[in-house]
Amino acid sequence: MDIKTLIREIPDFPKPGILFKDITTLLRDADGLRYTIDLLAEKCADLSPDFILGMESRGFIFGAPLAYKLGAGFIPVRKPGKLPAAVHAIDYQLEYGMDRLEVHQDALHPPHSKILIVDDLIATGGTAGATAKLVEKSGCHLVGFAFVIELKDLGGRQHLPKVPIVTLAEY
Ligand code: AMP
């Protein structure tokens, strides 16, 4: 199966000049969704993570079923103000302005927990790089990253720590 055929491209969303990769067409396809999760699981199995860290909100969609398949726990990384208990936070640069991600402090158990970071897409690598810093801050062991889509020309992987990076559809 070629999952690229199930990913829809929407020009000029959310702003002019961005070619948005719409994964809702992949998600609504039963065979495509199962294939995507199974392939992610197959490619990530050797990393043997204890926990999947998924970023709000599309990282949740792929991260939770992947955690289930791998027999790992799932930990949400959220936008500010959403998590109820004490958090580790990281501020990071967007194209215009700053953003912040948070994770529960007691969700990460250093130093032995092995963490795999999962999101739908890597573009500049800002989001995944910031999440990796949260893992570093906690003292846990980052074993890799997994993305359904990689936008290669943006060079995002150069901004990530040197651990394995799994991707399924490259553009
Ligand atoms: P970045 O931090 O630049 O790597 O951007 C990654 C985040 O932004 C991911 O959570 C994506 O869901 C979203 N994103 C960035 N560019 C696109 C795009 N062209 N199409 C869809 N989502 C995107």
C-alpha dihedral (94, 96, 97, 100), degrees to nearest 10: -30
Q: CB atoms < 10 A from the CB of 121, how many?
A: 22
DSSP one-letter code for 82? -
For 96-127, how does the pLDDT look when each residue is reduced to its tens digit (9 = 90+)?
789 999 999 999 987 889 999 999 999 999 99
Domain boundaries, the chain: 47-170
Residues lining ligand 1, Cβ inside 6 A: 18-21, 55, 58, 119-128, 156
DSSP one-letter code for 64? H
Confidence of residue 3 (pLDDT cuts 50, 70, 90): very high
Catalytic residue among 34, 95, 100, 157: 95
Output the CA 112–ligand 1 centroid distance in Å: 30
Written as six digits, the tokens of 156 are 């995002």
Supply the residue whose CA is at minimum distance from atom 12 of ligand 1: 121
d(CA 121, CA 59): 9
d(CA 160, CA 147): 13
d(CA 144, CA 163): 5
Q: Which pLDDT belongs to residue 109?
A: 82
Question: Percent of the chain, pLDDT > 70?
Answer: 100
Output the CA 46–ligand 1 centroid distance in Å: 26
Output the CA 6–ligand 1 centroid distance in Å: 17
For 58-73, how does the pLDDT look when each residue is reduced to its tens digit (9 = 90+)?
999 999 999 999 999 9
For 7-39, how does the pLDDT look when each residue is reduced to its tens digit (9 = 90+)?
999 999 999 999 999 999 999 999 999 999 999
What's 47-170's CATH class? alpha beta
Annotated catalytic, 95? yes
Catalytic residue among 58, 78, 102, 150: 58
d(CA 133, CA 72): 21
Confidence of residue 85 (pLDDT cuts 50, 70, 90): very high
